[in-house]
Structure 1
């Protein structure tokens, strides 16, 4: 059995690059679209990036912050991780942008974060320039080079700076990234995560000799969940911390992922169940495609027993479920490989908390509930967020006495296993993407033929959930679903646009006038044991 890898001296992402850059400079850190970067190169190049960021902050007359922000708009690449490490070394907070968002959505995040530099992939340059015209102080645009490009953009931007270590020593408590998640009011909130958010769970698992997520000598990691998601970011940082080779996909394509597993001998990866389902649906796929895989971690939604059965039969490796949320630093609860048994008693559980993490279930007055009683799931974790950027009231409402209030409903059994039953808030999760109804409802209200609308998540066998809109037309008017779909394009990201619509006379409301989304939603879930998919 290969030896487990754990480097306890690594406490921050800056430590990670320096440690492996010196210890194994010739070992391959990143492979992306055939382009390889060693740990030595990653350390030296991210040093240049750190110096460039530091110099830009000093020379920016608008920068008065101790912790400046920069943003990235592009698909994952070796440049993205160069920038991530450069931010870690220079005391800069990285704001990774979801490239599927619209110009208006990106403009809001840039305005809210105050990002001073925007690193942008070539295919999104037009979008970035358009966004810049909407901002009073547009960020400096730095074009990200293609792997074989010479003398353009990012490489020139940092070329004049030294590759020596910057004289900074970030602490585990210092901010590292600001990840935006949709808010209940429709405006995204910036979740500020410190370095510790990405290392404390690693420490707890290693200290208790748990193999729920582990790394071994010779591992090759496939990074398929994008870095603008906390899950993708967390998973990638675990691989870099272990010092293994990480194969980066700019965008998940199921056939390409299978080919990369075979070509590079992938041993570990993290996916969402929808990705697993797409891979298994590829024509001609067989166990021969996955013989090197030893472990798959998955999250964002439970895995169905039918899909697990297919995975065990065709992929044939260990599976670990991870439950958490951005505010928790991603990982908090794990369903271990031993519990992944088709028909097993724990397959409906999210799992057990990682050592050092506490769970409790509370009622609507935040009083603790006993086992097998459904209430709101609360998590106390050393990986928790620092804050919602610029939103002290929202921070105080979610983070109470060190406990993250998740908005998910569930219960604990007598053995400490967590079972998730429903959502207390109105979040919709489509293939791992968090969507809030208020944002879509606000967009629909802008159509002249819409009087009001309510949006809910409904079961979908492929994506977990789908977005469904109930629309009340203006008196005497008719609006078609196609008309509404076309109207929403460009206003909200495509993955947020409802895939089905129902025209109704009025929305159900309580006596105070609040729309009862739960009544609209429950009709789709009433025959299901669990009100999430």
Structure 2
């Protein structure tokens, strides 16, 4: 009895071109690319890469917003065994230079609007052999566009050169705790979850060939690229946005009959706040997954009421490679105390909590239910390594367990409750305070739109608790009123001793708060100018 080869992105592209070639694969700005054309275009690009000397294991940089070119390039890299290195287009030239230099990228594909960035760093990256401008219209003064660049090559299939466990993409961490590290993911990261869910007979999250899948998060991160690749693997139609805009997201839902999506809670809030939306606007939705940041009970209630579809919360990381933990749709009933949980491990994954020492380093022995410690996950989708960083790899992957940067605990039924990032813990007179706990309570105030809680050095107590708050339009709330609201909800030592009111809070592309940036900006201002800063 013959056994089918393990799936890879390259093999799946061939299968879809053969079996559902006319089905729309990608829709971007209402341009439609079917599976046959996606396969054909990526074959031509793959042959062009080969002609430039790109070999198995070489890194290919990509600096640009979402478009069909991004996923065409990813598939082309997979077909020649190269590894795509997506670069966050919001980064400074210095940060872009670090990623391209660290990865050793030998070819860079870039949107024309980032030409100035590329020109500034080009001389510092001698390993770059070729630059390919990705002008969407193909009529740029600076480049031909990807399709024109590869037009002279044939679209024949290439022989497979990599397998299930071979690298296909290298995603750099956000750098919230130091210089970004390159997380190397294999083909298997994009196939293990659906297979395990199907084998277990559960559909907490799923992707169907009939789905119209809206990609709201950027493909340069695991949330965007992972959600697309699961939809691609299923043969679904994937509607991608150059960048998230709530009005455009709502239009796309209406225009294309979107059935499923994954979004950060802030994105769902913005879509719900668009003028004129109601249940009928989102009637096509069958399932929405959310994550990357906590969701308030008020927002969750609106999602349940207006979207009118199944909701699932997911928890993961770039290093985990795919969804690790899920709070299933069945739990999403108003008033259910389990809504405070991140969820349970997805089929095929294992989860444990280990105590944290003052280093902090995990001891490896599981903690008892209810005891806060470091979250550890064992998953077949996990990263291969941190690129060129064996020490960090060894610290993160121990005996097959991926040590996350989060603190949490398990209840008696195995549900994971997150407390905070390990490095974000605030210690006041020896007492641990987890910012997420304070943020959750502040977010329940009716006049608070967004909030970030963080610690700043205090010579007497070690740390002091501070909060940066965004109020709803037109609201006027004092720090005293906010702390009166928190009394009875939190112990007194957890109450913020200082508040800063802001128009917006910085987040990374996945929607996660950049607490370090908020704290550092605050401290710089205090030391420099003693700005408007209110202490209670």
Structure 2 length as normaliser, TM-score?
0.78
CA distance in 1, matches of 2:371, 2:179: 33
Q: Does 1:77 align with 2:67?
A: yes
User: 2:403 corresponds to which residue?
Assistant: 405
Q: Does 1:501 align with 2:522?
A: yes
Contact 1:212 1:337 in 2 (8 A): yes
- Aligned counterparts of 2:177 and 2:205: Cα–Cα separation in 1: 35
Structure-1 separation of matches of 2:235 and 2:145: 29
Determine the C-alpha separation between the residues in 1 that align with 2:449 and 2:351.
28
**1:214 has 2:214 as partner:** no
The residue aligned with 2:392 is 394
Instruction: Measure how far apart 1:124 and its partner are.
Output: 1.2
- 5 Å-filtered alignment, 1:131-150, equals 131-147=121-137, 149=139
Q: Within 1, Cα distance between the matches of 2:320 and 2:64?
A: 25
- Correspondence for 2:31: 35
Match of 1:360 among 352, 355, 365: 352
Aligned partner of 1:120 among 110, 118, 122: 110
Shift of 1:230: 0.3
In structure 2, what is the equivalent of residue 110 of structure 1?
100
What's the offset of the Cα at 1:302?
Answer: 2.6
CA distance in 1, matches of 2:449, 2:375: 24
Alpha carbons of structure 1 residues 345 and 185: separation in structure 2 relative to 1, 3 Å: closer
**1:311-350 superposed matches below 5 A:** 311-350=303-342
1:422 deviates by 2.1
1:348 Cα deviation after fit: 0.7
Is the CA contact (8 Å cut-off) linking 1:409 and 1:420 kept in structure 2? yes
3-state DSSP of counterpart to 1:321: strand
Cα pair distance change 1:203/1:283, threshold 3 Å: same
Residues 262-300 of structure 1 deviation map (CA, whole Å, 9 limit, x = unaligned): 000000111011100111112222112101011101111
- In the superposition, relative to structure 1, how do residues 128 and 463 fare at CA in structure 2: closer, same or farther (>3 Å)? farther
Q: 1:265 to 1:399 in 2, by over 3 A?
A: same
Higher relative contact order (CA 8 A, sep 6+): 1
Do 1:274 and 1:464's aligned partners in 2 also have CA atoms closer than 8 Å?
Answer: no
Distance 1:181 1:217 in 2: 31
Between 1:225-234 and 1:122-131, the stretch displaced more is: 122-131
1:199 aligns with 2:179: no
Question: Alpha carbons of 1:298 and 1:10: their partners in 2 closer, same or farther (altered >3 Å)?
Answer: farther
Deviation of 1:346 after TM superposition, in Å, equals 1.1
Q: Distance in 2 between matches of 1:79 and 1:466?
A: 36
Alignment of 1:297-308 (within 5 A): 297-308=289-300
Q: Which residue of 1 aligns with 2:229?
A: 237
**Equivalent position of 1:99 in the other structure:** 89
Residues 340 and 263 of structure 1, relative CA distance in 2, 3 Å threshold: same
Which residue of the partner structure matches residue 475 of structure 2? none
Instruction: Name the residue aligned to 1:266.
Output: 258
Q: Is the 8 A contact 1:323 1:330 kept in 2?
A: no
Answer yes or no: is the 8 Å Cα contact 1:467–1:498 preserved in 2.
Answer: no
Q: Give the Cα–Cα distance (whole angstroms) in 1 for the partners of residues 127 and 364 of structure 2.
A: 43
Q: CA deviation at 1:16?
A: 1.5
Q: Is the 8 A contact 2:41 2:147 kept in 1?
A: no
- Classify the secondary structure of the residue corresponding to 2:114: helix
TM-score by length of 1: 0.79
Q: Which residue of 1 aligns with 2:77?
A: 87
1:290 counterpart = 2:282: yes
Q: For residues 13 and 505 of structure 1, what CA distance do their matches in structure 2 show?
A: 52
Deviations 1:131-168 (A, max 9, x none): 21333434521011315759913223211211001122
| Pair 269,470 (structure 1): closer, same or farther in 2 beyond 3 Å | same
- Which residue in 1 is equivalent to 2:429? none
Deviation at 1:203, TM superposition (A): 0.7
Q: Which moved more, 1:289-298 or 1:144-153?
A: 144-153
8 A Cα contact 1:301 1:464, kept in partner: no
Instruction: Decide which moves more: 9-18 or 336-345.
Output: 9-18
Report the secondary structure of 1:326's partner residue.
Answer: coil
Aligned to 2:219: 227
Residue-pair matches, total = 449
Structure 1 residues 53 and 300 mapped into 2: Cα distance closer, same or farther (>3 Å)?
same
CA contact (8 A) 2:63 2:88 kept: yes
Whole-angstrom distance in 1 between the partners of 2:172 and 2:415: 29
SS of residue matched to 1:498: helix
Deviations 1:459-497 (A, max 9, x none): 48588654879599xxxxxxxx9xxxxxxxxxx99x965
